[in-house]
Amino acid sequence: MSDIRLRNVRKVYPGAAEATIPGLSLDIGAGELCVLVGPSGCGKSTLLRMVAGLEEVTDGEINIAGRQVNDLEPARRDISMVFQNYALYPHMTVHGNMAYGLKNRGMPKAEIAEKVGTAARMLGLADYLDRKPRQLSGGQRQRVAMGRAIVREPAAFLFDEPLSNLDAKLRVKTRVEIRDLQQRLGTTSIYVTHDQQEAMTLADTLVVMNAGRVEQIGPPMEIYARPASLFVAGFIGSPPMNVLAPGTGAALATAAGIERAAGHAVVGVRPEDLRAQPGGPLAVTVRVVERLGATANVHGVLDDGASEVIASLSGTDLPGPGEVMHLGVNPADLHLFDHASGQRLECAGA
């Protein structure tokens, strides 16, 4: 087991006017699964590829297992990577794909066969070793890519959106398998995704990125419970947090007994924290009701006519479109953010 340490890592693509990553530090503990999440183009892949050695580091230092790797070739960094489109060698069999990296390291044939066999059994690929990638389903190909990564027993796994080519159901199943495998092997991992649900469920440590910067680092539940900024609040959680402008939010805050922020704070409240409350402080005209089974998302407009609100409600007596519904919230579940900077204001509702 080994850890990964990034120190002021900077990346400026040649010819680019601005830094894609202006300077980022991150510590990933041994055996941890760290998920990088953020909107498209925020630099997640860039960061991962710098750790892999596929992209040059403009500035700063990358350590893997206590060794500075900035100038090492990818093959000598003791990492393996799973690509979004798997990047399997189309002309090699499943066995050949998994064995190639070992062969290049000069491992004896018998040992390769044993390691590939073990990995194949672990991934349920034992019957497919002689097939070519094109003779496999998408899910099987994904597992071959995983197999290629684990046979090498590297110090770290790097995943770049490894599930985005699978259908929704398989994605959930494979997500669990990846988590299980990673825990059993105890290999330090970095996992890139832009799916916040995948990020929440997989991560030991969640890193929310925005425009090349870290917005917040922490255990996923902590980030969910106490988002450090409006950006994080909007990105983590689905449906996203309701954000009420200072004037509109004031009623809610006052009703909750929070005087301090009432005038100038943006108030955030998660859809799942809202509940139906006759005479509650939020009067919402319902527009659409989405029934998801256990819960339903009620979309509506506040009586100021502008703010959209989503409430995630359970129960059966849901309002119909056009009806006015009153909602309330537990004061402890309010999030306050500074109007200008978007940063979290502490001691909300406490």
Ligand X SMILES: Nc1ncnc2c1ncn2[C@@H]1O[C@H](COP(=O)(O)OP(=O)(O)OP(=O)(O)O)[C@@H](O)[C@H]1O
CB of residue 13 to ligand X, shortest distance in Å: 3
* CA distances to 13, 89, 92, 94, 262 from 110, in Å: 44, 22, 19, 17, 71
Separation of alpha carbons 18 and 191, rounded Å: 25
Q: Residue 201: which of ligand X, other proteins, Mg ion, none does it interact with, CB under 5 to 8 A by kind?
A: none
CB of residue 83 to other proteins, shortest distance in Å: 5
* Residue reference for tokens 């010819």: 15
Which residue minimizes CB distance to ligand X?
45
The dihedral through the CA atoms of 140, 145, 151, 155 has a sign that is: negative
Q: Residue 52: which of other proteins, Mg ion, ligand X, none does it interact with, CB under 5 to 8 A by kind?
A: other proteins
CB of residue 179 to ligand X, shortest distance in Å: 21
* CA distances to 201, 243, 284, 296 from 323, in Å: 36, 22, 8, 16
76 or 260, CB closer to other proteins? 76
159 or 337, CB closer to other proteins? 159
Q: What is the DSSP letter of 225?
A: H
CB of residue 236 to ligand X, shortest distance in Å: 16
Residue 348: helix, strand or coil by DSSP? coil
Q: Does 45 bind Mg ion (CB under 5 A)?
A: yes
By rule CB under 8 A, what string of x and - marks binding of each residue 42-81 to other proteins?
A: ----------xxx------------------xxx---xxx
**Ramachandran region of residue 31, left (φ > 0), alpha (ψ -120 to 50) or beta?**
left
Given 19, 100, 117, 179, the residue binding other proteins (CB under 8 A): 100
Burial of 298 (0-12, 13-18, 19+ CB in 10 A): buried
Question: Interface with Mg ion by CB under 5 A: which residues?
Answer: 45
Question: Interface with other proteins by CB under 8 A: which residues?
Answer: 52-54, 73-75, 79-81, 83-85, 87-91, 100-101, 104-105, 132-134, 148
